[in-house]
Structure formats: C-alpha cells, structure tokens
Amino acid sequence: MNDIFLRACQGRKTDYTPVWLMRQAGRYMPEYQKIRAKVDFLTLCKTPELATEVTLQPVDILNVDAAILFSDILVPLEPMGMQLEFTEQKGPVFHNPVRTSADVHALRAIDSQADVPYVLQAIRLLKQSLKVPLIGFSGAPFTLATYMIEGGSSKNFLHTKRMMYQSPELFQSLMKLVSGVVTDYLLAQIRSGVDTVQIFDSWVGALSPHDFERFALPYVQEIIRALRASERQVPIIYFAFNSSGMMEQVRKAGADVYGLDWRIEIAKAVDLLDRNHVVQGNLDPCALFGTRETIYAEARRILEGARYAPNHIFNLGHGILPETPVDNAKTMVEAVHEISLKAL
C-alpha cells in the first residue's frame, strides 16, 4: 500500500509530494468513455462494479497517489426527494427546484445505508483492490443548496441569494437539512472504509466573505465537528473553490487540508493558513494544454511555493477538463514526483 497521500494529509513528512487530479476518472480518458458509451452517467454512479472500474482506471494509467470514489455530489440529493436528471446539453437538472417553504418541507433526511447503498458498496469493493488511499467526498451544504434552489447550474445564483436575503430563516432551515444529509453521507462513507473525505464547496465563491460567514461556513463547521466526534477518524479536506479573497474566513472551517484553486499564489495561501495546514493544489487545469516544458516549469513553481506548508498534495485547482490530452496529465504526475523527490 502506497500511503504517501495519507501521510501528507496528516502533515507527516513524505519522500516526495503525492499527487492526484480532481475528476481524474472522467471524460478525457478513452477507457472511461468506453464504459460511458454503454450506460448513462447516473447509472454509472449507481452501479458499484462500474463505479469501481472507472475509479481504478486513472490510478494505473496516470500513476497518481490516491483514488477518488467515482460519483457525483448530487447523488445524495435524489433520495431527499429531488428529481435529478443529467442532460447532455445543460448538465444536471432538478425538475422540482426548492423555492418555497412547502418545497423545503417536502424534502426528507436520508439514511445512507438504505438510500445510497451502491455508493457504500463501491467503497467496499474498491478497498479490496486499491493500492493507494481512497478519497470519499460530498458537496458542501451551500453548493448543494444552490443546485436545489436554482434547479441546476447557475451563473448568478439569483434564486439562492433572493432566498438568503428575503427569507433567511427558510434558507437556514434548508441548509440545516442538507447539512444533516451530508453528515450522514460522509459518516457512512467513513464507516465503509474511505481513508479521507473531501468536502467540495464549488460555488461558495459566489458569496461575499460576510455572507460566507453567515450562510455557509457554520454548516461546514458543524459537519466537520460531527465527523471529528465519530469513532473512526480520517483526514478532512475542505475545498472552497474561488475563495482566494477570503482565506481568513475559509480557514475557520476546521479542516486538516485546504484545497486551493489557481487564483492565489500557493506560498501566500500557506502563510494565510499560518503554515499550519496541509495545502492541496493548485495548478490551473488549462496548464495541461501547454508543452512538456511549461508543465514542468509550473509544477516546479508550485512545489517551491508550498515548501513552508506542513505538507503539500499536488492537484489541479479544479477538475481536469474533458479536452485534456492524457499524456499531458501523465507528464504532470511524472514532473511532480521527479521534482519533489530531488528537492525534498
């Protein structure tokens, strides 16, 4: 078992810098496309054998130091009562967006064992064969709430913010419900064997720091406190996308590792985290459209920037893009391993 990723999460020294890629199991990879040609996206998420297969693909092909469970952050919302569909054109769509008090009250908490057994089964299958640590994950409450309220992806999050400002109590009651679901979901994943969990707050960058502290942060803190109180402890990664201007607020989440997008110098982020937290990131996904030389130069720059952190997990600052050449992703992994092995 290559446990270097796990050791890095714990802030322990490692021989080299571990690396994985967000969305490393995905559309840029022909092996993934082959399986997706046979089943739709949601079926893939719900079929443990297939989810396991695509989770494993990048581990061998890219030589990354961790695997992330193949699933989608919206999966646990379906049993809450949300009518989920993934469309080719518009991405995820909820046919019953949550806008009123009646909408919120029509939702229910979930029991992950009963409601999303396929996720937990995939974790158990993966733990039988994986030679690297397995990352479980969930969306953070604010990010999940935006999908529920908007009915899908959004540019300006108008409905979400209107509810926040006009009906703060309704918004908070939805957030409370979603937080309970996320907590149950992550605890079930931990019990099933994941080695780490990552909480994705993909849309929290839409908020001002002030609103983040009022409307999003307390729920992340609540979830992390609940995970800390559980019988089995795993490192917790919090990834608040597009939040470079509010690191002072984000660091209050209470996580072990903070994910960074590429919009901040990693050395600055390390300092804002008091050189006290492990950082994960932060290569621009578009850097993988450069040359071998530019990919090596960027890897070197980021590795050097992270040197005063307790440890560093190399990653992209966002999910790998579907158009990415696989060879360039391999080059990135190779560059991180090679450069960090020499330098550390």
- Contact string 311-340 vs a copy of itself (x = CB under 8 A): ------x---x-x-----------------
* 281 is an interface residue for a copy of itself by CB under 8 A: no
The residue among 272, 234, 270, 271 whose CA lies nearest residue 255 is: 234
Residue 92 beta carbon to a copy of itself: minimum distance, rounded to whole angstroms: 15
**Which member of 102, 166, 229, 231 binds a copy of itself (CB under 8 A)?**
166
**DSSP structural state of residue 84:** E
Establish if 161 lies at the interface with a copy of itself (CB under 8 A): yes
Interaction of residue 271 with a copy of itself, rule CB under 8 A: no
Which DSSP letter does residue 328 get? H
> What b/e sequence results for 288-302 when a residue is b if at least 16 CB atoms lie within 10 Å of its CB, and e otherwise?
bebeeeebbebbbeb
Residue of 72, 85, 103, 211 interacting with a copy of itself (CB under 8 A): 211
Task: Closer to a copy of itself by CB, 113 or 294: give it.
Answer: 294
The DSSP code for 3 is -
Rounded to an integer, what distance in angstroms lies between the CA atom of residue 157 and that of residue 145?
10
User: Using CB under 8 A, which of 11, 81, 117, 209 touches a copy of itself?
Assistant: 209
Q: Total residues contacting a copy of itself (rule CB under 8 A)?
A: 38
Is residue 280 part of the contact set for a copy of itself (CB under 8 A)?
no
**Residue 27 makes contact with a copy of itself by CB under 8 A:** no
Give Cα 25 to chain centroid, integer Å.
Answer: 13
**Three-point CA angle 255, 183, 281, nearest 5°:** 35
Of 108-116, 217-225, 261-269, 308-316, the window that binds a copy of itself (rule: CB under 8 A) is 261-269
Considering beta carbons, is residue 86 or 118 the nearer one to a copy of itself? 86
- Selected from 101, 131, 245, 343, the binder of a copy of itself by CB under 8 A is 245
Is 208 among the residues that bind a copy of itself (CB under 8 A)? yes
| Contacting residue, 238, 262, 296, 314, with a copy of itself by CB under 8 A | 262
Please say which residue, 5 or 142, places its beta carbon nearer to a copy of itself. Answer: 142
Contacts (CB under 8 A) with a copy of itself, residues 287-316: 287, 289-291, 294, 301
Where helices occur in the chain by DSSP H, the ranges are 4-9, 30-36, 41-46, 48-62, 101-105, 112-115, 117-129, 141-150, 158-166, 168-192, 209-215, 217-228, 247-250, 266-272, 292-305, 326-343
Backbone phi, psi, residue 52, to 5°: -65, -45
Q: Which is nearer to a copy of itself, 185 or 239 (CB)?
A: 239
- What does the alpha-carbon distance between residue 99 and residue 151 come to, in Å, rounded to a whole number? 9
> What b/e string do you get for 251-285 counting C-beta neighbours within 10 Å, with b at 16 or more?
bebbbbbbbbbbbbebbebbebbeeebbbbbbbbb
Residues that bind a copy of itself (CB under 8 A): 156-158, 161-162, 165-166, 205, 207-211, 242-248, 262-265, 268, 282, 284-287, 289-291, 294, 301, 317, 321, 323
